[in-house]
């Protein structure tokens, strides 16, 4: 329980930090300078709040601490004068609305759109979001994304310089460009989830990946844009996956495939929330990639609980996904579902049709290939495919699982 | 661009490579990895190294030559083998490094190779 309280305090510190950073950046346009100004106050909040409790007005607390530091710095002329002036002005505006008792303005949606702006290098978008909106440190982000920390640092600085120098406007895009821009935001959040999912099972139980952070971003986005079906779809998708978090490993840490999971270890509250989000999304009547992916997970969830999975429906959903966005992942997923629905040979035909060059080192392809070849009784080819699926695997639990499957 | 992936093992893992009771498990984990690397057509060279107890080090200390039993540096983890791979960028090299089935406490170091000299 105590741990829960501590985690909540740390979460509150990140929430307030993100709000404040968004508010100040939207006015000064200098994200890096805002980060510098808030860094010490944020560190103190992360360290102090779990012990002392969250202050009644967390943003005001951070702001006061940061302002004090800014004024000091300015006196010592250690910050560029222009940036400091803009910041202090913004800080004054923030202080004013705190004094009026008004709710602290939330500019985080604008910040999310800035982070996923087309002018920002695609590889920097998710890291930028994690760093600015949630205050994650660059080293942790670099580890999750398998990038050299110094490179990640440079990538992030470049992105922030771009925002400042190109004067990218802090605003929610207009209706006509909203879908495409929103898509980039969703992609970036999902990329954080994917990274978290991948290294979920690392041997170190401390490494929990970024799934929690991604879900936090997803929740934030639902709060900020509650009527966008794809926003709802993305959160539903992540919650469905997260619901099975505990059941994905057995006591020894080995991977347990969905069909063999102990469904009593699933989080029913997460599933219920996901289902309700998905219903709201469908009601809008505008199908999208994340809604389809969430629907696939939903079908898996109800199938596994009923002890009978409707693979025909899942294959159909994949068909829709492939039509909408034919990623390698969707193509491989469709082949796997078809293999279950219509037999291994049907699945294999779809798999074989994927250009080999695109999947040569794509682990899920070889895992599905191995399974479908084994099911067709093609033992030699299956062994080869298992060997590659194991060799390309980053994750010990999955490796072990595949080793046990190998004929 | 060529990179060298260097695999560091602790004493226990060095033993696991040849210990009759454990070697099968060790190589069962490693061979698929090697196969995936070769299959990708990126391997320029590779070697597995005998344990550091088999190393001989020649030191040059201010003009004095000294031959020693054992490795150059006495660290807990020692170089156990390497792959030289040719891939487009560091990002790809790190992907391959992350796939290495390291034992507990093991590590992979990735370094860019200097461009080949004129021969």
pLDDT (tens, 9 = 90+) of chain A, 407 residues, equals: 467 788 888 888 988 999 999 998 998 888 998 898 899 999 999 999 988 889 888 888 888 888 887 777 777 665 566 667 777 777 787 777 766 766 778 899 999 999 999 999 998 999 999 999 989 888 888 888 889 999 999 999 999 999 999 988 898 888 888 888 999 999 999 988 876 555 444 334 434 568 888 898 999 899 988 999 999 999 999 999 999 888 888 887 778 888 888 999 999 999 999 999 999 999 999 999 999 999 999 999 999 888 889 999 999 999 999 999 889 999 999 999 999 999 999 999 999 999 999 999 999 999 999 999 999 999 999 999 999 999 999 888 888 899 999 99
Nearest-angstrom CA–CA distance, A35 and A339: 50
When CB atoms are compared, the residue of B29, B31, B90 closest to A148 is B90
A388 vs B contacts (CB less than 8 Å): 32, 35-36, 39
B91 vs A contacts (CB less than 8 Å): 146-147
CB-based contacts of A395: which residues, under 8 Å, 6+ apart?
A: A198, A199, A200, A201, A202, A255
B48: number of Cβ within 10 Å: 11
Q: Would an 8 Å CB–CB cutoff place B85 in contact with chain A?
A: no
CATH top-level class for B2-112?
Answer: alpha beta
Best of B39, B85, B94, B105 to substitute, by most chain A Cβ atoms within 10 angstroms, is: B39
CB contact under 8 A, A360 and B40: yes
One DSSP character per residue, A323-391 reads HH---HHHHHHHHHHHHHHH-HHHHHHHHHTS-HHHHTT-HHHHHHHHHHHHHTT-HHHHHHHHHHHHH
B33 vs A contacts (CB less than 8 Å): 390-391
Q: What is the model's pTM?
A: 0.88
A200-206 own/partner pairs: CB under 8 Å, 24+ apart: A200/A245, A200/A248, A200/A395, A201/A248, A201/A249, A201/A253, A201/A255, A201/A395, A201/A396, A201/A397, A201/A398, A202/A395, A203/A253, A203/A396, A203/B104
CB contact under 8 A, B35 and A393: no
B108: nearest Cα among B2, B19, B4: B4
Helix axes A396-405, A379-391, angle to 10 degrees: 170
């Amino acid at each position: 329980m105590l741990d829960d309280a501590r985690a909540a305090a740390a979460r509150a510190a990140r929430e307030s930090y993100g709000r404040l950073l968004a508010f100040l950046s939207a006015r000064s346009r200098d994200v890096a300078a805002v980060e510098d100004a808030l860094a010490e106050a944020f560190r103190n909040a992360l360290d102090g709040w779990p012990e002392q409790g969250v202050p009644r007005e967390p943003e005001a607390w951070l702001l006061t601490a940061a302002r004090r530091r800014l004024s000091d710095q300015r006196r010592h002329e250690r910050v560029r004068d222009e940036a400091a002036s803009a910041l202090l002005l913004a800080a004054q505006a923030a202080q004013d609305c705190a004094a009026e008792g008004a709710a602290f303005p939330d500019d985080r949606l604008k910040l999310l759109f800035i982070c996923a702006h087309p002018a920002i290098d695609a590889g920097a978008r998710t890291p930028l979001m994690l760093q600015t909106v949630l205050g994650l440190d660059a080293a942790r982000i670099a580890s999750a994304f398998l990038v050299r920390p110094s490179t990640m640092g440079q990538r992030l600085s470049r992105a922030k310089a771009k925002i400042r120098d190109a004067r990218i406007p802090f605003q929610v895009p207009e209706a006509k460009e909203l879908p495409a821009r929103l898509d980039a935001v969703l992609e970036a959040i999902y990329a954080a989830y994917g990274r978290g999912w991948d290294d979920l099972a690392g041997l170190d139980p401390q490494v929990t990946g970024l799934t929690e952070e991604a879900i936090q971003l997803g929740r934030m986005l639902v709060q900020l844009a509650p009527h966008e079906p794809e926003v709802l779809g993305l959160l539903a998708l992540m919650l469905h996956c997260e619901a099975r978090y505990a059941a994905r490993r057995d006591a020894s840490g080995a991977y347990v495939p969905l069909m063999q999971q102990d469904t009593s270890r699933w989080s029913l509250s997460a599933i219920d929330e996901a289902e309700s989000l998905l219903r709201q999304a469908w009601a809008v009547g505008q199908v999208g990639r994340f809604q389809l992916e969430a629907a696939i997970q939903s079908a898996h969830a109800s199938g596994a609980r009923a002890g009978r999975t409707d693979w025909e429906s899942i294959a159909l959903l994949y068909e829709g996904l492939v039509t909408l966005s034919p990623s390698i992942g969707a193509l491989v997923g469709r082949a796997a579902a078809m293999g279950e629905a219509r037999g291994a040979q049907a699945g294999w035909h779809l798999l074989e049709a994927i250009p080999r060059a695109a999947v040569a080192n794509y682990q899920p392809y070889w895992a599905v290939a191995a399974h479908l070849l084994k099911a067709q009784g093609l033992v030699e080819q299956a062994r080869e495919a298992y060997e590659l699926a194991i060799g390309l695997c980053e994750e010990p639990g999955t490796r072990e699982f595949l080793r046990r499957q190998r004929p | 661009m060529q990179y060298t992936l260097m695999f560091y093992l602790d004493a226990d893992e060095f033993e696991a490579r040849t210990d009759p009771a454990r070697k099968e498990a060790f190589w069962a984990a490693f061979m698929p990895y090697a196969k995936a690397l070769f299959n990708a057509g990126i391997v320029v060279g590779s070697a597995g190294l005998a344990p550091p107890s088999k190393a001989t080090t020649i030191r040059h200390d201010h003009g004095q030559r000294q031959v020693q039993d054992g490795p150059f540096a006495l660290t807990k983890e020692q170089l156990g083998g390497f792959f030289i791979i040719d891939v487009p960028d560091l990002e790809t090299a790190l992907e391959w490094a992350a796939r290495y089935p390291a034992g507990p406490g093991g590590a992979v170091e990735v370094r860019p190779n200097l461009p080949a000299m004129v021969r």
